Chain A
């Protein structure tokens, strides 16, 4: 618990409206985007300046109080889940775009600036910020850095780590780290990469300089239907083998197609097993050439129907179905659980077959949405949290899918992060020596384990317990007990 003495010290650092500890004020912060995990925070602080962030960290360090940093709270792995006795440090009020330099193609922003707001501000200069997680209207850039967020354009334009130049971040003892700079590299170790995707475990970010890219002259999308998911999977590899790097390459399975079509009437063909959306962008002439190539490859790969969007309106309509896939699937069932594994693309037919077998075994339906270009699979497990045991069943099913991803040479998280959600599966992904090194990396920044303790990297005894339980059907006794 937070002591009254500590609370009054916090209040001395911040204006009254920036410290919340009344129950009704705290409830909106009890979960991030993964609402199955909830915990009411003890206290929420909303600093309005970098100096306040530093002061809060110094106080927490002095009093040995843990800190959970949170951006917009759209994360999907319970990374920003409040921890008992910790301060929830919400960076949403640091939301100023400090500078846009059109000639150098950079934007310097505070962490609470929304992802899409950067592109909106840059649009006047013909520029944009490339990573586009599906939550981009709401998610903030600080959270994007913490999670190394991706989006549908990763294969061509990279993740957050490829699109940032510089960070200002604070260690838990209130020291400023200036990482990276305005050139294209920095001396010493690549701490920019180390901090990106570190899930609030190493430092608290207060400023980000991102790269901006010129808006492509033209973007065009081709839709292709297949009577077999394996054929659609093979088509993805064939497009890439033909030398085309699509800006977006998305795949949906039958259930996802049906749900999306019923929801937004995108005009998708319904009598197919898989749908591919392949978008190419760039210079006008290059797009024409690529569209031609993609068309040929899709036909040769056995597509039963191929349509090229011939207007911007139609392009947006093709995408509308894919972009609404999650809420559309949400209409099929009271709840859904979104997974985030990445696999080598070649393993797709095997993985989908195994998921379908597990679906029967668990008695839960699954819709598959796939960033096919970069192998990032989002199976959506349908369940009803009001049915006793179904949430637990969905979680076990999800866990098994992630372990399958590891088995075929992939990973348990492509873009959502580990947070608390996938902490057990980290034991499947990494062996003890690597986990030990991860803890040591954290200790180099945060020797007292005050930043987001218990998230992202499991304690070794947790893995030992999990390994032993796993043999017995994936059931941990007292599943609600925190195992930090």
Chain B
């Protein structure tokens, strides 16, 4: 099976013909338009090894994310970065290549924090293996993590080893009526206290906070924080994770409205950019439905210590991701050149020039 992929990639390399790597196709909307023939990666599926006591799972990249999560749930474990599925048949490989994380991210870590090792095929058809299946490993450069969020531009990920964690014994979700300014301050103040926070959200005057941990700890924090307990909280967080609420959906209907993801310093006060807003990650993500110019939003995000991504909607000319400073752009091209010298993988997906 792997040989078929190697042959296909070697041929594409030889013929200089671009490939679009596709897993479950749940995140085709994400990134810039790319060009080439589709290389379906779903066939490389199956869990290779899972040792609950080692907290390590290894699976081939085409394995459905839902299958991985179900297997972990049988052992009361989970992917702590709470990856989005976006309502589609997401694969583990796509999840890692996109590098996106869900509501638990600021409190438990991002996708990249849980990657222990990858097997991949580079742009010349060379199979490679980086990292491993152990939690602590500093031999060689951390190429495994370099693959996370690279959107397949450095190679086809074929197998991934991840650190997994026990599921919390108890969870509770609380809601508070608060304005934006107060909510941002509260989220940051609480994150600086020993509280079992596991997710935060603010939208339309409502701060929603999830607590996770031992039942006793969750109860104690609940008593301390107050608020209204939210029923059906699991569905709330899943909808937010997967953007399955009308807020995230409204942009395709109106031509100029685009969904922007402003990653900023979490303590950034209200940005007052107009449009509808949903705050996540303790204040570090401001989702914005806006028709403002890309340059305006990028500048606002940079001033706030971060960067802006146009998450959904037609890509601007310089791409959906924030352009890189010249020294970093040079390094990106140089790394790309070394892993995929002819630029056959996902051409243009990350940055329009490669």
Q: Does A159 contact B (CB under 8 A)?
A: yes
Residues in A neighbouring B350, C-beta threshold 8 A: 188
Q: Does A105 contact B (CB under 8 A)?
A: yes
CB pair B325 A290 closer than 8 Å: no
Q: Does B27 contact A (CB under 8 A)?
A: no
Residues in B neighbouring A444, C-beta threshold 8 A: 331, 334-335, 337-338
CB pair A342 B134 closer than 8 Å: yes
CB pair A101 B267 closer than 8 Å: yes
Q: Does A434 contact B (CB under 8 A)?
A: yes
CB pair B194 A215 closer than 8 Å: yes
Residues in A neighbouring B165, C-beta threshold 8 A: 245
Cα distance A282–B192 in the bound complex, in angstroms? 13
Q: Does A126 contact B (CB under 8 A)?
A: yes
CB pair A241 B52 closer than 8 Å: yes
Cα distance A155–B47 in the bound complex, in angstroms? 23
**Residue among A162, A184, A346 having the largest count of chain B Cβ atoms under 10 Å:** A184
| Nearest A-chain residue to B284, judged by Cβ | A184
CB pair B213 A410 closer than 8 Å: no
Residues in B neighbouring A285, C-beta threshold 8 A: 214, 216-217, 219-220
**Cβ proximity bits A424-459 to B, threshold 8 Å, 1 near / 0 not:** 001001110110011011111100000000001100
CB pair B138 A197 closer than 8 Å: yes
Cα distance A52–B17 in the bound complex, in angstroms? 47
CB pair A159 B129 closer than 8 Å: no
Q: Does B92 contact A (CB under 8 A)?
A: no
Q: Does B109 contact A (CB under 8 A)?
A: yes
Q: Which B225-272 residues have C-beta < 8 A from chain A?
A: 263-267
CB pair A418 B140 closer than 8 Å: yes
Contact of A176 among B154, B327, B331, B338 (CB under 8 A): B327
Q: Does A21 contact B (CB under 8 A)?
A: no
**Cβ proximity bits A184-197 to B, threshold 8 Å, 1 near / 0 not:** 11111111011011
Known: A181-B306, A181-B307, A409-B134. Contact between A344 and B56, CB under 8 A? Answer: yes
Cα distance A105–B193 in the bound complex, in angstroms? 10
Contact of A183 among B99, B142, B306, B332 (CB under 8 A): B306
Q: Does B132 contact A (CB under 8 A)?
A: yes
Residues in B neighbouring A437, C-beta threshold 8 A: 122, 128, 143, 338-339
List residues of chain B with CB under 8 Å of any chain A CB.
51-56, 75-76, 99, 105-106, 109-110, 112-113, 122, 126-130, 132-143, 145-146, 148-150, 154, 165-167, 169, 185, 188-189, 191-196, 213-217, 219-221, 263-267, 281, 284-285, 304-307, 309, 321-322, 324-325, 327-328, 331-332, 334-335, 337-339, 350-351
| A and B contact pairs by CB, cutoff 8 A, 27 listed | A101-B267, A105-B188, A148-B142, A159-B138, A162-B113, A183-B265, A187-B321, A188-B321, A189-B150, A191-B146, A237-B54, A282-B213, A283-B195, A283-B214, A283-B217, A286-B213, A344-B54, A375-B134, A413-B138, A426-B140, A434-B128, A437-B143, A438-B140, A438-B141, A441-B141, A441-B338, A457-B140
Additional 4 contacts, C-beta under 8 A, given A105-B191, A184-B105, A193-B112: A176-B327, A178-B328, A184-B110, A411-B134
Q: List the 3 closest pairs (A to B, CB-CB), nearest first.
A: A182-B305, A183-B306, A285-B216
